[in-house]
Protein backbone atom coordinates (compact mmCIF):
# COMPACT_ATOMS: atom_id res chain seq x y z
CA UNK A 1 0.00 0.00 0.00
CA UNK A 2 1.21 3.47 -0.86
CA UNK A 3 1.40 5.88 2.04
CA UNK A 4 -0.74 8.99 1.76
CA UNK A 5 2.37 11.12 1.34
CA UNK A 6 3.72 8.99 -1.50
CA UNK A 7 0.37 9.04 -3.31
CA UNK A 8 0.34 12.83 -3.14
CA UNK A 9 3.91 12.93 -4.41
CA UNK A 10 2.94 10.67 -7.32
CA UNK A 11 0.60 13.44 -8.49
CA UNK A 12 3.64 15.60 -9.20
CA UNK A 13 5.04 12.92 -11.54
CA UNK A 14 3.82 12.36 -15.11
CA UNK A 15 0.16 11.37 -15.42
CA UNK A 16 1.07 7.74 -16.10
CA UNK A 17 3.06 7.34 -12.86
CA UNK A 18 2.35 4.14 -10.94
CA UNK A 19 4.01 1.99 -8.32
CA UNK A 20 4.19 -1.80 -8.74
CA UNK A 21 4.10 -4.49 -6.05
CA UNK A 22 7.89 -4.30 -5.63
CA UNK A 23 7.70 -0.61 -4.86
CA UNK A 24 9.15 0.37 -8.25
CA UNK A 25 8.06 3.58 -9.91
CA UNK A 26 6.67 3.16 -13.43
CA UNK A 27 6.34 5.98 -15.96
CA UNK A 28 4.62 5.45 -19.30
CA UNK A 29 4.31 1.77 -18.43
CA UNK A 30 8.08 1.42 -17.95
CA UNK A 31 9.81 0.40 -14.72
CA UNK A 32 12.23 3.26 -14.13
CA UNK A 33 14.52 1.05 -12.03
CA UNK A 34 14.92 -1.25 -15.04
CA UNK A 35 15.54 1.77 -17.29
CA UNK A 36 18.36 2.96 -15.04
CA UNK A 37 19.83 -0.56 -15.13
CA UNK A 38 19.76 -0.50 -18.91
CA UNK A 39 20.73 3.10 -19.66
CA UNK A 40 22.62 4.21 -16.55
CA UNK A 41 22.09 7.47 -14.72
CA UNK A 42 21.60 10.38 -14.53
CA UNK A 43 18.70 9.67 -16.80
CA UNK A 44 15.97 12.05 -17.92
CA UNK A 45 12.73 10.33 -18.76
CA UNK A 46 9.87 12.03 -20.58
CA UNK A 47 6.35 10.68 -20.72
CA UNK A 48 4.79 11.09 -24.14
CA UNK A 49 1.25 10.78 -22.82
CA UNK A 50 1.71 13.69 -20.40
CA UNK A 51 3.43 15.78 -23.03
CA UNK A 52 0.60 15.34 -25.53
CA UNK A 53 -2.02 15.73 -22.80
CA UNK A 54 -0.57 19.11 -21.80
CA UNK A 55 -0.47 20.32 -25.41
CA UNK A 56 -4.12 19.34 -25.78
CA UNK A 57 -5.11 20.79 -22.42
CA UNK A 58 -3.70 24.23 -23.23
CA UNK A 59 -5.27 24.14 -26.68
CA UNK A 60 -8.64 23.01 -25.39
CA UNK A 61 -8.86 25.32 -22.39
CA UNK A 62 -8.09 28.38 -24.48
CA UNK A 63 -9.91 27.54 -27.72
CA UNK A 64 -13.13 26.50 -25.99
CA UNK A 65 -13.26 29.98 -24.48
CA UNK A 66 -11.70 31.83 -27.42
CA UNK A 67 -11.55 29.91 -30.68
CA UNK A 68 -9.07 32.29 -32.30
CA UNK A 69 -6.12 31.11 -30.15
CA UNK A 70 -2.75 29.78 -31.26
CA UNK A 71 -0.67 27.91 -28.68
CA UNK A 72 3.02 28.26 -29.36
CA UNK A 73 5.41 26.18 -27.28
CA UNK A 74 8.31 28.12 -25.73
CA UNK A 75 11.26 26.09 -26.99
CA UNK A 76 13.61 27.45 -24.32
CA UNK A 77 11.98 25.14 -21.79
CA UNK A 78 13.45 22.21 -23.80
CA UNK A 79 13.49 21.37 -27.47
CA UNK A 80 15.04 18.57 -29.37
CA UNK A 81 13.91 16.85 -32.54
CA UNK A 82 11.70 14.28 -30.84
CA UNK A 83 9.81 17.00 -29.00
CA UNK A 84 9.60 19.23 -32.06
CA UNK A 85 7.96 16.37 -33.98
CA UNK A 86 5.40 15.87 -31.20
CA UNK A 87 4.56 19.58 -31.06
CA UNK A 88 4.22 19.63 -34.83
CA UNK A 89 1.82 16.68 -34.68
CA UNK A 90 -0.14 18.40 -31.92
CA UNK A 91 -0.57 21.47 -34.13
CA UNK A 92 1.34 23.89 -31.91
CA UNK A 93 3.44 26.81 -33.07
CA UNK A 94 6.83 27.57 -31.59
CA UNK A 95 8.48 30.44 -29.74
CA UNK A 96 12.23 30.43 -30.37
CA UNK A 97 14.92 32.74 -29.03
CA UNK A 98 17.99 31.82 -31.02
CA UNK A 99 19.29 30.59 -34.32
CA UNK A 100 19.98 27.33 -32.49
CA UNK A 101 16.37 26.75 -31.47
CA UNK A 102 15.29 27.78 -34.93
CA UNK A 103 17.64 25.27 -36.54
CA UNK A 104 16.38 22.44 -34.30
CA UNK A 105 12.84 23.30 -35.39
CA UNK A 106 13.89 23.34 -39.02
CA UNK A 107 15.71 20.05 -38.75
CA UNK A 108 12.42 18.49 -37.59
CA UNK A 109 10.64 20.09 -40.58
CA UNK A 110 8.59 22.20 -38.17
CA UNK A 111 6.35 24.61 -40.13
CA UNK A 112 8.41 27.79 -39.78
CA UNK A 113 5.44 30.01 -40.60
CA UNK A 114 4.20 29.12 -37.10
CA UNK A 115 7.44 30.19 -35.45
CA UNK A 116 7.72 33.41 -33.44
CA UNK A 117 11.25 34.67 -32.99
CA UNK A 118 11.85 36.36 -29.62
CA UNK A 119 14.90 37.82 -27.92
CA UNK A 120 16.36 41.13 -26.77
CA UNK A 121 19.48 40.94 -28.89
CA UNK A 122 18.98 38.70 -31.89
CA UNK A 123 22.13 38.86 -33.95
CA UNK A 124 22.26 40.01 -37.56
CA UNK A 125 23.08 36.46 -38.62
CA UNK A 126 20.16 35.03 -36.67
CA UNK A 127 17.77 37.54 -38.18
CA UNK A 128 19.05 36.87 -41.69
CA UNK A 129 18.50 33.17 -41.13
CA UNK A 130 15.01 33.79 -39.79
CA UNK A 131 14.03 35.94 -42.77
CA UNK A 132 15.59 33.57 -45.28
CA UNK A 133 13.86 30.58 -43.72
CA UNK A 134 10.48 32.29 -43.66
CA UNK A 135 9.91 32.56 -39.93
CA UNK A 136 6.31 33.59 -39.27
CA UNK A 137 6.85 36.53 -36.93
CA UNK A 138 9.76 38.45 -35.54
CA UNK A 139 8.82 39.76 -32.11
CA UNK A 140 10.73 43.03 -32.24
CA UNK A 141 12.20 43.97 -28.89
CA UNK A 142 13.96 47.33 -29.33
CA UNK A 143 14.65 50.27 -31.69
CA UNK A 144 17.92 48.83 -32.99
CA UNK A 145 16.12 45.68 -34.05
CA UNK A 146 13.21 47.57 -35.56
CA UNK A 147 15.53 49.29 -38.02
CA UNK A 148 17.62 46.18 -38.57
CA UNK A 149 14.69 43.91 -39.44
CA UNK A 150 13.27 46.53 -41.77
CA UNK A 151 16.63 46.85 -43.53
CA UNK A 152 17.13 43.09 -43.83
CA UNK A 153 13.59 42.68 -45.14
CA UNK A 154 14.19 45.48 -47.65
CA UNK A 155 17.40 43.82 -48.87
CA UNK A 156 15.40 40.65 -49.43
CA UNK A 157 12.52 42.49 -50.99
CA UNK A 158 10.04 41.02 -48.56
CA UNK A 159 7.48 42.32 -46.10
CA UNK A 160 8.17 40.76 -42.69
CA UNK A 161 5.33 40.18 -40.25
CA UNK A 162 6.23 41.44 -36.79
CA UNK A 163 4.86 41.96 -33.30
CA UNK A 164 6.20 44.53 -30.88
CA UNK A 165 7.18 43.39 -27.43
CA UNK A 166 5.79 45.79 -24.86
CA UNK A 167 6.98 46.10 -21.27
CA UNK A 168 3.75 46.92 -19.46
CA UNK A 169 5.27 47.83 -16.10
CA UNK A 170 3.66 45.01 -14.13
CA UNK A 171 5.55 43.05 -11.51
CA UNK A 172 4.50 39.39 -11.50
CA UNK A 173 6.64 38.71 -8.41
CA UNK A 174 8.62 35.85 -9.85
CA UNK A 175 12.28 35.29 -8.98
CA UNK A 176 14.04 38.51 -9.96
CA UNK A 177 16.07 36.64 -12.58
CA UNK A 178 12.92 35.76 -14.46
CA UNK A 179 10.83 38.91 -14.01
CA UNK A 180 10.40 40.65 -17.35
CA UNK A 181 7.26 42.78 -17.17
CA UNK A 182 8.66 45.62 -15.08
CA UNK A 183 9.84 48.83 -16.73
CA UNK A 184 13.44 48.31 -15.56
CA UNK A 185 13.94 45.27 -17.79
CA UNK A 186 16.21 44.52 -20.71
CA UNK A 187 13.19 43.25 -22.66
CA UNK A 188 10.69 45.20 -24.71
CA UNK A 189 9.46 48.73 -25.34
CA UNK A 190 8.36 50.39 -22.10
CA UNK A 191 4.78 51.55 -22.09
CA UNK A 192 5.03 54.28 -19.49
CA UNK A 193 7.96 56.14 -21.07
CA UNK A 194 6.20 56.63 -24.39
CA UNK A 195 8.76 54.41 -26.14
CA UNK A 196 6.14 51.79 -26.99
CA UNK A 197 4.15 54.44 -28.85
CA UNK A 198 7.21 55.73 -30.69
CA UNK A 199 8.10 52.17 -31.71
CA UNK A 200 4.58 51.58 -32.96
CA UNK A 201 4.64 54.70 -35.12
CA UNK A 202 8.01 53.66 -36.55
CA UNK A 203 6.88 50.11 -37.17
CA UNK A 204 3.68 51.22 -38.92
CA UNK A 205 5.61 53.47 -41.24
CA UNK A 206 8.45 51.04 -41.97
CA UNK A 207 8.31 50.11 -45.64
CA UNK A 208 9.15 46.43 -45.22
CA UNK A 209 7.49 45.61 -41.92
CA UNK A 210 3.94 44.48 -41.40
CA UNK A 211 3.01 45.21 -37.80
CA UNK A 212 0.43 42.62 -36.78
CA UNK A 213 0.22 43.08 -33.06
CA UNK A 214 1.56 43.39 -29.56
CA UNK A 215 3.20 41.00 -27.14
CA UNK A 216 4.21 41.04 -23.51
CA UNK A 217 5.65 38.45 -21.16
CA UNK A 218 5.63 39.05 -17.42
CA UNK A 219 7.96 36.38 -16.11
CA UNK A 220 8.17 32.75 -15.25
CA UNK A 221 6.64 31.04 -13.38
CA UNK A 222 3.75 33.41 -12.63
CA UNK A 223 1.67 31.57 -10.05
CA UNK A 224 -1.10 34.15 -9.88
CA UNK A 225 -3.62 35.10 -12.55
CA UNK A 226 -3.98 38.73 -11.50
CA UNK A 227 -0.79 40.14 -13.10
CA UNK A 228 -1.95 38.84 -16.50
CA UNK A 229 -5.23 40.73 -16.13
CA UNK A 230 -3.56 43.94 -15.00
CA UNK A 231 -1.12 43.82 -17.92
CA UNK A 232 -3.80 42.93 -20.49
CA UNK A 233 -5.77 45.93 -19.31
CA UNK A 234 -2.80 48.26 -19.83
CA UNK A 235 -1.76 46.88 -23.20
CA UNK A 236 -5.26 46.71 -24.69
CA UNK A 237 -6.02 50.25 -23.59
CA UNK A 238 -2.78 51.26 -25.30
CA UNK A 239 -3.88 49.38 -28.43
CA UNK A 240 -7.21 51.21 -28.41
CA UNK A 241 -5.48 54.54 -27.98
CA UNK A 242 -3.12 53.99 -30.91
CA UNK A 243 -6.01 52.68 -32.98
CA UNK A 244 -7.79 55.99 -32.44
CA UNK A 245 -4.65 58.05 -33.04
CA UNK A 246 -2.98 56.19 -35.91
CA UNK A 247 -5.46 53.63 -37.17
CA UNK A 248 -3.44 50.69 -35.75
CA UNK A 249 -5.28 47.36 -36.03
CA UNK A 250 -4.45 44.80 -33.37
CA UNK A 251 -4.63 41.56 -35.35
CA UNK A 252 -2.55 39.50 -32.90
CA UNK A 253 -2.10 39.78 -29.18
CA UNK A 254 0.10 37.74 -26.85
CA UNK A 255 0.24 37.79 -23.06
CA UNK A 256 3.29 35.49 -23.29
CA UNK A 257 3.84 32.37 -21.22
CA UNK A 258 4.87 31.87 -17.63
CA UNK A 259 2.15 29.43 -16.55
CA UNK A 260 3.29 27.78 -13.35
CA UNK A 261 3.53 24.07 -12.56
CA UNK A 262 3.45 22.47 -9.15
CA UNK A 263 6.95 21.48 -8.01
CA UNK A 264 6.36 20.73 -4.34
CA UNK A 265 3.50 19.35 -2.31
CA UNK A 266 2.43 22.43 -0.42
CA UNK A 267 2.57 24.89 -3.33
CA UNK A 268 -0.40 24.37 -5.63
CA UNK A 269 -0.66 26.55 -8.74
CA UNK A 270 -3.56 27.64 -10.98
CA UNK A 271 -4.70 25.08 -13.56
CA UNK A 272 -4.44 25.84 -17.30
CA UNK A 273 -8.21 26.42 -17.18
CA UNK A 274 -7.82 29.19 -14.61
CA UNK A 275 -5.16 31.00 -16.64
CA UNK A 276 -7.34 30.60 -19.72
CA UNK A 277 -10.42 31.94 -17.95
CA UNK A 278 -8.55 34.93 -16.54
CA UNK A 279 -6.87 35.85 -19.82
CA UNK A 280 -9.84 35.27 -22.10
CA UNK A 281 -12.40 37.00 -19.89
CA UNK A 282 -10.21 40.07 -19.64
CA UNK A 283 -9.41 40.04 -23.35
CA UNK A 284 -13.00 39.69 -24.52
CA UNK A 285 -14.45 42.02 -21.91
CA UNK A 286 -11.97 44.77 -22.55
CA UNK A 287 -11.92 44.45 -26.35
CA UNK A 288 -15.65 45.15 -26.28
CA UNK A 289 -15.28 48.00 -23.84
CA UNK A 290 -12.54 49.85 -25.70
CA UNK A 291 -13.79 49.06 -29.22
CA UNK A 292 -11.14 46.64 -30.46
CA UNK A 293 -11.91 43.82 -32.87
CA UNK A 294 -10.98 40.71 -30.83
CA UNK A 295 -7.47 39.75 -32.03
CA UNK A 296 -5.91 36.34 -32.52
CA UNK A 297 -4.62 35.29 -29.09
CA UNK A 298 -1.14 33.78 -28.94
CA UNK A 299 -0.08 32.00 -25.76
CA UNK A 300 3.42 30.74 -25.11
CA UNK A 301 3.55 27.99 -22.48
CA UNK A 302 6.90 26.29 -22.04
CA UNK A 303 7.14 24.90 -18.51
CA UNK A 304 3.38 24.24 -18.44
CA UNK A 305 3.77 21.75 -21.28
CA UNK A 306 7.04 19.95 -20.54
CA UNK A 307 7.54 20.46 -16.79
CA UNK A 308 5.50 17.60 -15.38
CA UNK A 309 6.30 15.31 -18.32
CA UNK A 310 9.97 14.97 -17.31
CA UNK A 311 11.54 13.02 -14.45
CA UNK A 312 15.21 13.01 -13.45
CA UNK A 313 16.61 9.69 -12.22
CA UNK A 314 19.81 9.37 -10.24
CA UNK A 315 21.69 6.60 -8.46
CA UNK A 316 22.73 7.09 -4.85
CA UNK A 317 26.43 6.72 -4.04
CA UNK A 318 27.83 8.14 -0.84
CA UNK A 319 25.57 8.73 2.14
CA UNK A 320 27.01 11.12 4.70
CA UNK A 321 25.31 11.34 8.05
CA UNK A 322 26.53 14.15 10.33
CA UNK A 323 24.97 13.39 13.71
CA UNK A 324 22.53 16.07 14.88
CA UNK A 325 23.29 18.14 11.81
CA UNK A 326 22.26 16.69 8.45
CA UNK A 327 22.18 13.58 6.36
CA UNK A 328 23.45 14.02 2.82
CA UNK A 329 22.42 11.58 0.11
CA UNK A 330 24.84 12.01 -2.79
CA UNK A 331 23.64 11.27 -6.31
CA UNK A 332 25.48 10.93 -9.62
CA UNK A 333 24.14 14.16 -11.15
CA UNK A 334 23.49 17.66 -9.80
CA UNK A 335 24.08 21.20 -11.03
CA UNK A 336 25.47 19.89 -14.31
CA UNK A 337 22.04 18.61 -15.32
CA UNK A 338 19.86 20.73 -13.03
CA UNK A 339 21.15 24.14 -12.04
CA UNK A 340 17.70 25.43 -11.05
CA UNK A 341 17.94 24.74 -7.33
CA UNK A 342 21.34 26.43 -7.08
CA UNK A 343 20.50 29.30 -9.42
CA UNK A 344 16.95 30.21 -8.43
CA UNK A 345 16.60 28.42 -5.11
CA UNK A 346 14.05 26.18 -6.85
CA UNK A 347 12.53 23.49 -4.66
CA UNK A 348 11.95 19.86 -5.55
CA UNK A 349 10.43 16.75 -4.04
CA UNK A 350 11.96 13.32 -4.56
CA UNK A 351 11.03 9.68 -4.27
CA UNK A 352 13.17 6.57 -3.82
CA UNK A 353 12.08 4.95 -7.08
CA UNK A 354 12.89 1.39 -5.93
CA UNK A 355 11.34 1.81 -2.46
CA UNK A 356 8.13 3.67 -3.21
CA UNK A 357 6.11 1.42 -0.91
CA UNK A 358 8.26 2.17 2.12
CA UNK A 359 7.29 4.83 4.61
CA UNK A 360 9.28 8.04 4.34
CA UNK A 361 10.91 8.12 7.72
CA UNK A 362 14.12 10.05 7.12
CA UNK A 363 14.83 13.71 6.59
CA UNK A 364 17.67 14.08 4.11
CA UNK A 365 19.37 16.51 1.76
CA UNK A 366 20.05 15.38 -1.78
CA UNK A 367 23.45 16.56 -2.92
CA UNK A 368 24.93 16.32 -6.38
CA UNK A 369 28.45 15.19 -7.27
CA UNK A 370 29.82 18.53 -8.45
CA UNK A 371 32.63 20.38 -6.71
CA UNK A 372 30.44 23.12 -5.27
CA UNK A 373 28.82 23.22 -1.85
CA UNK A 374 25.81 24.82 -3.52
CA UNK A 375 25.26 21.66 -5.53
CA UNK A 376 22.16 20.62 -3.62
CA UNK A 377 19.09 19.35 -5.47
CA UNK A 378 16.67 19.21 -2.54
CA UNK A 379 17.17 20.27 1.05
CA UNK A 380 15.71 18.58 4.12
CA UNK A 381 13.07 16.49 2.42
CA UNK A 382 11.45 13.29 3.63
CA UNK A 383 12.51 10.04 1.99
CA UNK A 384 12.44 6.32 2.66
CA UNK A 385 15.63 5.06 4.22
CA UNK A 386 18.29 5.26 1.49
CA UNK A 387 21.29 3.06 0.77
CA UNK A 388 23.98 3.29 -1.92
CA UNK A 389 22.60 1.92 -5.17
CA UNK A 390 19.05 3.18 -4.59
CA UNK A 391 17.40 5.19 -7.35
CA UNK A 392 16.18 8.71 -6.67
CA UNK A 393 13.45 10.12 -8.90
CA UNK A 394 12.87 13.87 -8.96
CA UNK A 395 9.59 14.95 -10.54
CA UNK A 396 8.89 18.06 -12.63
CA UNK A 397 12.30 18.13 -14.28
CA UNK A 398 11.01 18.44 -17.84
CA UNK A 399 11.44 22.20 -18.12
CA UNK A 400 14.68 24.19 -18.18
CA UNK A 401 16.91 21.46 -16.69
CA UNK A 402 18.30 19.97 -19.90
CA UNK A 403 18.56 23.28 -21.81
CA UNK A 404 20.45 24.87 -18.89
CA UNK A 405 22.69 21.84 -18.40
CA UNK A 406 26.45 22.10 -18.73
CA UNK A 407 29.62 20.08 -18.88
CA UNK A 408 30.82 21.52 -15.59
CA UNK A 409 33.55 19.33 -14.05
CA UNK A 410 33.71 17.80 -17.54
CA UNK A 411 30.57 15.86 -16.74
CA UNK A 412 28.58 14.11 -19.42
CA UNK A 413 25.15 15.42 -20.23
CA UNK A 414 22.55 12.73 -19.52
CA UNK A 415 20.67 10.24 -21.61
CA UNK A 416 17.10 11.26 -22.43
CA UNK A 417 14.36 8.70 -22.98
CA UNK A 418 10.76 9.06 -24.08
CA UNK A 419 8.40 6.52 -22.54
CA UNK A 420 5.11 5.61 -24.12
CA UNK A 421 2.84 2.56 -23.79
CA UNK A 422 5.40 0.44 -21.95
CA UNK A 423 8.26 1.23 -24.32
CA UNK A 424 11.07 3.70 -23.83
CA UNK A 425 12.98 5.09 -26.78
CA UNK A 426 16.24 6.94 -26.70
CA UNK A 427 15.73 10.54 -27.81
CA UNK A 428 19.22 11.71 -26.90
CA UNK A 429 22.21 9.56 -26.06
CA UNK A 430 24.44 10.32 -23.12
CA UNK A 431 27.55 12.30 -24.00
CA UNK A 432 30.78 10.34 -24.08
CA UNK A 433 34.31 11.26 -23.02
CA UNK A 434 35.08 11.57 -26.75
CA UNK A 435 32.36 14.22 -27.01
CA UNK A 436 34.20 16.28 -24.41
CA UNK A 437 37.22 16.72 -26.68
CA UNK A 438 35.36 16.59 -30.00
CA UNK A 439 35.65 20.32 -30.63
CA UNK A 440 39.25 20.71 -29.44
CA UNK A 441 41.74 21.37 -32.22
CA UNK A 442 45.05 20.37 -30.67
N1 LIG B 1 7.50 33.60 -23.68
C2 LIG B 1 8.58 34.36 -23.44
C3 LIG B 1 8.75 35.60 -24.17
C4 LIG B 1 9.52 33.96 -22.47
O5 LIG B 1 10.58 34.72 -22.22
C6 LIG B 1 9.33 32.75 -21.78
C7 LIG B 1 10.30 32.31 -20.76
C8 LIG B 1 8.19 31.98 -22.08
C9 LIG B 1 7.30 32.44 -23.03
C10 LIG B 1 7.91 30.66 -21.42
O11 LIG B 1 7.75 30.73 -20.06
P12 LIG B 1 7.20 29.42 -19.31
O13 LIG B 1 5.81 29.17 -19.82
O14 LIG B 1 8.09 28.29 -19.64
O15 LIG B 1 7.23 29.77 -17.88
N16 LIG B 1 15.13 29.32 -16.68
C17 LIG B 1 14.00 29.72 -15.86
C18 LIG B 1 12.83 30.17 -16.68
C19 LIG B 1 13.19 31.28 -17.66
C20 LIG B 1 12.02 31.64 -18.53
C21 LIG B 1 12.44 32.56 -19.64
N22 LIG B 1 11.37 32.93 -20.50
C23 LIG B 1 13.64 28.55 -14.94
O24 LIG B 1 14.32 27.53 -14.97
O25 LIG B 1 12.71 28.65 -14.14
Q: CA 161, CA 136: separation in Å to the nearest integer?
A: 7
> Ligand 1 pocket: which of 302, 308, 405 to mutate (most atoms <8 Å of CB)?
302
The pLDDT of residue 290: 96
Q: CA 276, CA 109: separation in Å to the nearest integer?
A: 29
Residue 30 Cα to ligand 1 middle (Å) = 30
Which residues contact ligand 1 via a Cβ below 6 A? 74, 76-77, 95, 118, 178, 217, 220-221, 256-259, 300-304, 340, 344, 399-400
The pLDDT of residue 173: 86
Nearest 5°: CA angle at 328, between 322 and 331?
Answer: 150
Query: At residue 176, does pLDDT exceed 90?
Result: no
In ligand 1, which atom is closest to the CA atom of 178?
A: 19
Nearest 5°: CA angle at 166, between 161 and 169?
Answer: 170
177: pLDDT confidence band, cut at 50, 70 and 90?
Answer: confident
**CB–CB of 348/377 below 8 Å?**
yes
174: pLDDT confidence band, cut at 50, 70 and 90?
Answer: confident
Nearest CA to ligand 1 atom 11: 258
Query: At residue 399, does pLDDT exceed 90?
Result: yes
Regarding pTM above 0.85, the answer is yes
Residues annotated as part of the active site: 371
The pLDDT of residue 254: 98
User: Dihedral (C-alpha) 190, 140, 121, 307: value to the nearest 10 degrees?
Assistant: 90
- What pLDDT digit, counting tens, does each position of 406-422 carry? 999 999 999 999 999 99
In ligand 1, which atom is closest to the CA atom of 221?
A: 15
In ligand 1, which atom is closest to the CA atom of 303?
A: 14
> Ligand 1 pocket: which of 54, 76, 304, 344 to mutate (most atoms <8 Å of CB)?
76
> Ligand 1 pocket: which of 165, 186, 258, 404 to mutate (most atoms <8 Å of CB)?
258
Nearest CA to ligand 1 atom 6: 257
Cis before 42? omega within 30: yes
Query: At residue 172, does pLDDT exceed 90?
Result: no
- Domains of the chain (ranges; CATH) run 4-40+309-437 (2.40.37.10), 49-304 (3.20.20.10)
Residue 385 Cα to ligand 1 middle (Å) = 36
Amino acid sequence: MLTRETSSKLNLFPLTAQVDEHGHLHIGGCDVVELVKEYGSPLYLFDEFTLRHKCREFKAEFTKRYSNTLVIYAAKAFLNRALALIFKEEGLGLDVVSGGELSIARSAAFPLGKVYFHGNNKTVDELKLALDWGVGRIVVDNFYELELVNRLAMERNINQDILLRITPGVDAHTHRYTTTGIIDSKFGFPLTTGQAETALIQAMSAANLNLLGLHFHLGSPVSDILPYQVAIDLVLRFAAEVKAKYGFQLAEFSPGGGFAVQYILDSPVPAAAEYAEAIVSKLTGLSGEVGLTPPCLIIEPGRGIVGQAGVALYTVGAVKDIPQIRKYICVDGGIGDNVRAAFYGAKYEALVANKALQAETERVTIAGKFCESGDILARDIKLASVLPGDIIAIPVCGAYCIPMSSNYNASLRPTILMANQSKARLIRRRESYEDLTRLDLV
